Amino acid sequence: MPENVESAHEWSADRIVWDVIVIGAGPAGASAARAAAEGGASVLLVDRATFPRYKTCGGGLLGESLRYVPEAARHTIESRVRASLVTDRFARPFVLRRPSPYLAMVRRAEFDQALVEAATEAGAVFVDGVAVREIQADDDPARPVLVRTATATAAARVVIGADGTGGRTARHVGVEIGGVDLGLEDEVAMPADARAWRDRVRLDWGGAAGSYAWVFPKRDSLTVGVIQRKGRPDETREYLAAWRRHLGLEHAETLHSSGHLTQWRVPGSPVRRGRVLVAGDAAGLLEPWTREGISFALRSGTWAGEAAAAAVGPWRGESARGAAAVGSSDERMPALDAYAERVRLALEPEQVLGAELLRFFETRRGLVHSLLRTRWGARWFARFCRGETSLARVARHPIARAVARRLA
């Protein structure tokens, strides 16, 4: 923390300038805080919720995610899945089974808490129960960015917004959204016949365009959820109820019920405005077909934290002492520009192809179902989940190109 901060209780004290303030302590924010702290920056991580907290999320970790999970958080993995039962509107079932696991399962409350603890172990200061109301930044690089809450103001050389869908940082940066979905989820107690549910995911392609449902097994519960385009909440709720009836879980004890909006960005949408970066859901970073966002959050958060630490390098750890404590725009911006470029090169192609696949899935759901039950489709799905391939690489595969040409 800054030299003249003696405790976390002084996080908003006068004349304190943090190198980096991270808003939001989910996977993107905690990863950003850890990366920035490991880079030598003084880091303040804040979240409006009190941790640990429940989070609407299936909790499936793809292989790409695992590469960005610190060793200290890997103990939160509860199970590894090697089979999926897939249906199309509750019919045409098939089992997608592979010899080795291809999906890891976590509870977000425990997983996110472990990521926060990894960030604090690296040196970040975490303050929960703090809701950010305003971000104030101007073009003068000699002035720190101000982060205001209802009762206090904190200052930083760089701010990273990871405050999720609808957060203030996305509006500040000007993130342009291409699509929004509503996800509904029930966490239910594990049925008595637990062996029938463990180590197996259940998926269903819904009747509404682009919708699907899932069951993800945890240690002593099941995460049962559905997702479809925002705007038809009653229809989405009925899909969840019908899914539970189909599974025989309509009378299972419900431990949590929650909803969440997910969103994805328009290609080329900004992820930086001056010295304010956005990562994860706040930046609209997820894959539009599966709506998978944890791997995008972990990667973008890590990269944002690394960029912020590099940007404040010459002044890190110092308290505010005028213009020299903040630095010039010319010195600072290349490191922050590098973050935006990394998102453009590594994540944007996946989003573009995911959006194309979503459009295809919306009109040819049955064909997607049939393709996945082929040997090639099952192998691709497992390799995709393990992070051994990507949508961009699959799009270049001869079989995929042949299918695309035939459909065109």
Using the 8-state DSSP alphabet, how is residue 139 labeled? S
Q: CA–CA separation, 213 vs 406, rounded Å? A: 29
Q: Is the pTM of this model over 0.85?
A: yes
At 273, is the pLDDT very low, low, confident or very high (cuts 50, 70, 90)?
very high
pLDDT at 400 exceeding the cut of 90: no
Predicted confidence (pLDDT) per residue in 249-259, tens digit: 999 999 999 99
- The pLDDT value given to residue 62: 86
What's the CA gap between 148 and 155, in Å, rounded? 9
pLDDT, position 128: 94
Residue-level pLDDT at 315: 64
Q: What is the phi/psi pair of residue 149, to 5°?
A: -110, -175
Beta bridge partners of 292: 287
Which residue in this structure is represented by tokens 């080795």? 100
Indicate whether 324 pLDDT > 70: no
> Amino acid identity of 396?
R
Work out the average pLDDT over 58-76. Answer: 90
- The pairing of beta strand 79-81 with beta strand 43-47: unpaired
**Phi and psi at residue 186, in whole multiples of 5°?**
-120, 130
SS3 string of 25-57? CCHHHHHHHHHHHHCCCCEEEEECCCCCCCCCC
Task: Please state, for a pLDDT cut of 90, what percent of the chain lies above it.
Answer: 73
More confident residue, 15 or 375: 375
Strand locations in 132-278 (E): 132-136, 145-149, 153-161, 177-189, 200-205, 212-217, 221-229, 254-265, 272-273, 276-278
pLDDT average, residue stretch 336-361: 94
| Unique residue bearing structure tokens 């961009």 | 392
Burial zone of 296 (CB within 10 Å; 0-12 exposed, 13-18 middle, 19+ buried) = buried
Cβ proximity of 289 and 361 under 8 Å? yes
- Write out pLDDT tens, residues 236-253: 999 999 999 999 999 999
- The answer to whether 280 touches 29, Cβ cutoff 8 Å, is yes
Q: How confident is the model at residue 78 (pLDDT cuts 50, 70, 90)?
A: confident
- Name the pLDDT band for 294 (thresholds 50, 70, 90): very high
pLDDT of the residue at 398: 64
CB 40 within 8 A of CB 313: yes
Does the pLDDT at position 141 exceed 80? no
Does residue 210 register a pLDDT over 80? yes
Task: Give the model's pLDDT for residue 12.
Answer: 65
Instruction: Given CATH 3.90.1150.10, say whether it is the number of domain 17-320+327-407.
Output: no
pLDDT digits (tens, 9 = 90+) for 1-20: 555 444 555 666 566 899 99
Return the pLDDT at 122: 97
pLDDT band, residue 125 (cuts 50/70/90): very high
Rounded to an integer, the average pLDDT of 341-357 is: 94
Q: Please give the mean pLDDT across all residues of the chain.
A: 89
Check pLDDT > 70 for residue 25.
yes
Residues 64, 294: contact at Cβ < 8 Å?
Answer: no
pLDDT at 212: 97
Percent of the chain having pLDDT more than 70? 88
pLDDT at residue number 321: 39
Select the highest-mean-pLDDT range: 52-66, 177-191, 394-408. 177-191
Q: What is the pLDDT of residue 1?
A: 56
Mapping DSSP to helix (H, G, I), strand (E, B) and coil, where does residue 159 land? strand
Residue 335 has pLDDT above 60, yes or no: yes
